[in-house]
Amino acid sequence: MNGLERMPSVRLLCTSGGRVAEVLAEHRGKVLGVISYSASEPDFSSGDLIHVWVELEVFGEESCHEIWVSENPVSVQRQDGFEYSSDGDFLFCRSLHGECMLQGLELGARSAYADLFDLLDRSGYPFLLRAWNYFPGINDAGRGIERYREFNVGRHEAFCQKGRLIEEGNVPAACAIGTRRGGLVICFLAGRNKGMAIENPRQVNAYRYPGKYGPKSPTFSRGMLVGDALLISGTASIVGSETMHPGDVMRQLEETLENLRTVGSMARQAGFVAEDFRGLCLNVYLRSREDFDSVRKRLEIEFGPHAKIFCMQAEICRTDLLVEIEAFWIPVGRKAA
């Protein structure tokens, strides 16, 4: 299996708010981190957990939660302004930066990423596998450019400052989503071992986008294989580097699904194995709540009853994109979480 089976794998349990306490109790001592999506902040004051709240409305649910778990005991540390957990194979970190809303996202993103790269290097988990980025007003004007493009400049500069090559195989899977309010929220999943980056031949690699999309390109790969898990970045209706079907959410959804299928196909060529959609979790970001029912029905047809699908209202990185989907596909039955 060309090394994938030998590499440790992380596990993800996606659940709605009603079961989160039960799942956490079942995996006590082995939880790397929890990312919660809800309109109001959930209570995670009890327990020694790395917890991140993303303020987004979840359609049809009070909340949803990504619970990243390990097969090994997890230790939690809070020092030098960081909160992170590790298990000997993986490190999960959260980083909150409210002040960068005043300083500007370019400076804030550069500083946050540079500091986090330093943490990974000195902790012995140098390989960045997945990054989550959230901040309000993602499409608003920043300091002369759109805030998302401003963020991309800072992130790119941090990669360069810390000597991290921006080329195929060296950038993580990632998302960048607009939240209701608050500061810059970043989460990292890093490893002692390098993952296998996956790209999409239908699309220009994101870090090679032409200059019309900003002074610096977004620094992410389309997906990342981590052991037997496939982590797919935020995916939308983009072919080459161009947005397809502006103004038509269902045609954009079909293009997005084709991109997801292609990333899955490329991952299979690299050794990914999944017999069905069990273990697949989709986070679906919609600009308009009016699109929820039709999008949800189409996704249920595409993925059947086994996939877990959570739809949220959010701003997306381009103003002409109406839907974005990120996927975490961790096959069930090969290793139990």
The residues that are catalytic are: 324
Q: Residue 169 to residues 2, 20, 165: CA-CA distances in angstroms?
A: 16, 34, 9
- In Å, the largest CA–CA distance within the chain is 51
Q: How far apart are CA 166 and CA 152, in angstroms?
A: 13
Q: For CA atoms 43, 49, 52, 56, give the dihedral sign.
A: negative
Tally Cβ neighbours within 10 Å of residue 129: 26
Q: How far apart are CA 227 and CA 4, in angstroms?
A: 5
DSSP 152-173: HHHHHHHHHHTT---STTSS-E
Q: Which residues contact 140 (CB under 8 A, 6 or more apart)?
A: 146, 147
Q: Both tokens of residue 242?
A: 């161009």
Q: How far apart are CA 226 and CA 93, in angstroms?
A: 17
DSSP tag of 334: S
Q: Are 177 and 285 in contact (CB under 8 A)?
A: yes
Do strands 229-235 and 323-329 pair parallel, antiparallel, or not at all (unpaired)?
antiparallel
Identify the CA nearest to 310 among candidates 328, 337, 332.
328
Q: How distant is the alpha carbon of residue 264 from its chain centre?
A: 16
Q: For CA atoms 209, 213, 217, 221, give the dihedral sign.
A: negative
Q: Are 219 and 166 in contact (CB under 8 A)?
A: yes
